[in-house]
């Protein structure tokens, strides 16, 4: 696994920054990717989730300019783009669009006085459900706000990122990824309530186990997936219930009796059932992780996977096969598809002394069936957003 440390990444990027811009950065913002233990497709309906940040990051470095020019160097694409305020809405490639849109939205609200030199790079795999784009937004927004705005809080970063996603990129997403990137604490699990936008931390008492990511290598991007359709279907289901009950209820107040009202529409019924039970699983998961009951944690993960695959229909053949294969391994307690879905990774709880064997078993079995190599690695948790100003 790519175990480069945060400090090493920062020091490597500082050197690249100097090579490209012949000056040192004034500010460095480091935003991690995340895994989501449970609570999938609940955030945009004001539900619950338990994500946590991982030891892979997107880093933004900025140094001030005294003109209206923006020079942005992407380490990952090894490319420099230069533009002025007038060009913030024109972009040729998706990564460029993310960067310009984010600067555009911050500028719209905070009216920047000048441009800057900026370096962006990181080691979060792109398009596999570990939130590389959310981390990119968080690192850019926090770097600019920290450098140019006197007062802001972390919820402001969340708000700006969500505007970028919804208004510019056209993804009706929730704030799970950005929330985890900002608020995670190392070695803690984060339980977020998206109805109140509040969170709590809790400890894991699971012993002798690791969290392992199995990457199907099926890349997905939310814009072109059915993600937005799922958001619409849930709203349609809620509207129908409100109409039939002739009153206005909200997602977080839905009861099973309410959901039964839309039973005739199988699709909407299944979408809402997923939401209802997934939130219940989040609460149970907190209890089971805190109590260290790895068997029950595994069962909750598998129930969540079944629901995401059959009721919410956001899985795919490769991922369902990975879960079926994993179930046959003695070291596997449970796992599920993670993130937006339609590909990406499964997150799995695996017994430590069988971990190595599990990893090679899954790789081999998968290759036998699909004839391409997948990546399987243990995941390590990390601290949330870090902004360095004392450089
Ligand atoms: C993506 C979105 C999140 C969330 C998850 C599904 O990662 O960006 O907001 O909806 O999918 O839980």
> Which residues are bridge partners to 108 per DSSP?
none
Tokens linked to 106: 């911050």
Rounded Cα distance, 154 and 385, in Å: 10
Output the pLDDT for position 198: 98
pLDDT tens readout for residues 100-113 = 999 999 999 999 99
CA of 213 to the centre of ligand 1 (A): 17
Output the pLDDT for position 391: 83
Query: Residue with the nearest Cα to atom 10 of ligand 1?
Result: 41
pLDDT tens readout for residues 126-149 = 888 899 999 999 999 999 999 999
Output the pLDDT for position 31: 98
Kindly state if the Cβ of 173 falls inside 6 Å of ligand 1. yes
What domains, with CATH codes, occur in the chain?
6-202+382-388 (3.30.230.10), 209-224+270-378 (3.30.70.890)
Check if the beta carbon of residue 123 is closer than 8 Å to that of residue 4.
yes
DSSP 129: S
What amino acid positions are annotated as catalytic residues?
Answer: 177
Is pLDDT above 90 for 92? no
Is pLDDT above 50 for 1? no
pLDDT tens readout for residues 38-81 = 999 999 999 999 999 999 999 999 999 999 999 999 999 999 99
Kindly state if the Cβ of 137 falls inside 6 Å of ligand 1. no
State which of 47, 173, 175, 192 you would mutate to test the pocket of ligand 1, scoring each by most atoms of that ligand within 8 A of its C-beta: 173
Is pLDDT above 60 for 2? no
Rounded Cα distance, 344 and 325, in Å: 16
Kindly state if the Cβ of 43 falls inside 6 Å of ligand 1. yes
pLDDT above 90 as % of the chain: 92
Helices 355-370/317-327 angle, 10° precision:
140
Tokens linked to 218: 């099926």
pLDDT tens readout for residues 175-229 = 999 999 999 999 999 999 999 999 999 999 999 999 999 999 998 777 778 999 9
Residue that is written with structure tokens 């984060």 in the block: 190
Rounded Cα distance, 191 and 278, in Å: 13
- Rounded to the nearest 10°, the torsion over CA 135, 138, 143, 145 is 180
CA of 353 to the centre of ligand 1 (A): 32
Rounded Cα distance, 85 and 69, in Å: 7
Q: How confident is the model at residue 390 (pLDDT cuts 50, 70, 90)?
A: confident
Is pLDDT above 90 for 115? yes
pLDDT tens readout for residues 293-336 = 999 999 999 999 999 999 999 999 999 999 999 999 999 999 99
């Amino acid at each position: 696994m790519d175990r480069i440390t945060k400090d090493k990444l920062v020091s490597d990027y500082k050197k690249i920054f100097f090579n490209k811009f012949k000056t040192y950065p004034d500010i460095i913002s480091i935003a991690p990717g995340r895994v989501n233990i449970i609570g999938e497709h609940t955030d945009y309906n004001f539900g619950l989730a338990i994500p946590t940040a991982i030891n892979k990051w997107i880093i933004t470095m900025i140094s001030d300019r005294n003109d209206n020019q923006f020079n942005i160097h992407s380490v990952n694409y090894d490319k420099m783009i230069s533009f002025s305020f007038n060009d913030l809405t024109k972009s040729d490639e998706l990564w460029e669009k993310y960067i310009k849109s984010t600067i555009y939205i911050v500028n719209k609200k905070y009216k920047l006085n000048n441009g800057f030199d900026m370096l962006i790079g990181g080691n979060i795999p792109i398009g596999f459900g570990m939130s590389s784009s959310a981390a990119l937004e968080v690192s850019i927004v926090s770097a600019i706000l920290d450098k140019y705005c006197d007062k802001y809080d972390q919820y402001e970063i969340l708000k700006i990122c969500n505007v970028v996603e919804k208004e510019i990129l056209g993804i009706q997403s929730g704030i799970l990824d950005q929330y985890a990137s900002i608020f995670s604490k190392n070695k803690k699990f984060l339980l977020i309530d998206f109805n109140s936008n509040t969170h709590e931390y809790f400890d894991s008492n699971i012993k002798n186990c690791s969290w392992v990511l199995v990457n199907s290598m099926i890349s997905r991007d939310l814009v072109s997936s059915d993600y937005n359709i799922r958001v619409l279907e849930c709203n349609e289901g809620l509207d129908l219930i409100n109409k039939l009950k002739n009153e206005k209820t909200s997602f977080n107040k839905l009861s099973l009796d309410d959901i039964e009202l839309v039973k005739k529409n199988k699709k909407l019924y299944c979408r809402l059932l997923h939401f209802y039970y997934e939130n219940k699983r989040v609460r149970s998961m907190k209890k089971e992780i805190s109590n260290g009951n790895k068997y029950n944690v595994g069962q909750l993960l598998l129930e969540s996977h079944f629901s995401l695959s059959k009721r919410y229909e956001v899985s795919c053949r490769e991922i369902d096969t990975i879960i079926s294969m994993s179930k046959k391994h003695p070291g596997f307690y449970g796992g599920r598809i993670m993130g937006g879905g339609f590909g990406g990774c499964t997150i799995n709880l695996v017994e430590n002394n069988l971990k190595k064997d599990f990893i090679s078993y899954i790789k081999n079995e998968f290759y036998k069936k699909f004839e391409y190599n997948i990546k399987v690695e243990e995941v390590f948790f990390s601290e949330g957003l870090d902004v360095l100003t004392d450089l």
